[in-house]
Amino acid sequence: MNDAEPTKVVDDVVDDDEAAERRVRRYSAIWRWSLGAGLVVAWEVLTRLKVIDPYYFSSPFTIVNTAYVAATQGSLFVDIGYTSAATIVGFIVGVTAGAVLGLSTWWSKVYGRVSEPYLVTFNAIPKLALAPILIILFGIGFESKVALAVALTIVPAALAAYGGVKSVDRDLETLLFSLGASRFQVFSKVVVPWAMPWIVSSLRVNIGLALAGAIVGEFIASRYGVGRMILYAGQIMDINLVWVGVVVLSILALVMYVVVMTAERYLLKGMLHGSQLSTQ
């Protein structure tokens, strides 16, 4: 009885989570790419067959051609560089300033309570409505685009950091104090790392907002930038060029999103804690 025959292994019946995961990953990759390719092909075919009007909807081929012309004879790369730079500078300034603002609420309860309603109110204002004022204030150059990107990102970052500060584990603060730590040490060793996941989680939204800020700035008054290019193309009825702008911005947004996602993973290394994982 003891040395019973070993169970026969029927390959299809054995649970193999890793193999299943690999299968899911392979299928989703295949479907993802073919869906994208299919949409592009359908767009091209349908416009050629005049099912949809190529005048308004352009077509992938025309867009690529127009982009090539804009890149070789126009200033497409300069525009992309300009918009990217404004977005990135605005994002970094806005997020840093917002995070500092939010984190600073830890130092005084009264100060935190006083600033909260103002942050929430300012968050509710459609900041793009401030664009004309910011352009007048900062001129039609690079600064006004950055200012708009900052205006859009600073409050979400501040609110995220404030949320993190409010949730700091009081026991961890007590622990540090019991070790004779100064307030600054408690701040830097407990409060900042604790709030980090909150701040980081606001980055993905904020990179998109920064891009929107930069583009709107370019719409209103600018000499360079993808936003200006789109506006100009619209004014001269060059709809193909508008589409080039849209596609370029989509790619730009995608690239920035991926970069931020990668940065998140790096920033959060080992920082996940009680609130993300189960509480100890």
Partner 1 sequence: MIETRGAIEAGKLNVQTVSKVFRRDGRTVRALDPVSVTIPEGRLISLIGPSGCGKSTLFNIIAGLLRPTTGDVLADGKSIVGRPGYVAYMLQKGLLLPWRTILDNVILAAEVRGVPRRESIARAQPLIARYGLGGFEQHYPHELSGGMRQRASLLRTMLYDRDVVLLDEPFGALDAQTRLLMQSWLLQIWSDFRKTILFVTHDIDEAIYLSDEIYVFTARPGRIKSHIDVALPRPRDQDVVTTASFMGLKRQLLDLLNEEARIAERQSSML
Which residues of the shown chain bind partner 1 in the complex (CB under 8 A)? 171-172, 174-181, 185, 189-190, 193, 196, 270-274, 277, 280
Tell me whether residue 34 or residue 174 sits nearer to partner 1 (CB atom).
174
Distance between CA atoms of residues 164 and 147, nearest Å: 26
Minimum separation from the CB atom of position 268 to partner 1 (A): 9
Minimum separation from the CB atom of position 171 to partner 1 (A): 6
Tell me whether residue 7 or residue 279 sits nearer to partner 1 (CB atom).
279
Minimum separation from the CB atom of position 203 to partner 1 (A): 18
Tell me whether residue 81 or residue 193 sits nearer to partner 1 (CB atom).
193
Minimum separation from the CB atom of position 190 to partner 1 (A): 7
Tell me whether residue 28 or residue 185 sits nearer to partner 1 (CB atom).
185
Tell me whether residue 43 or residue 194 sits nearer to partner 1 (CB atom).
194
Minimum separation from the CB atom of position 225 to partner 1 (A): 39
Residues near 132 by Cβ (< 8 Å), separated by ≥ 6? 220
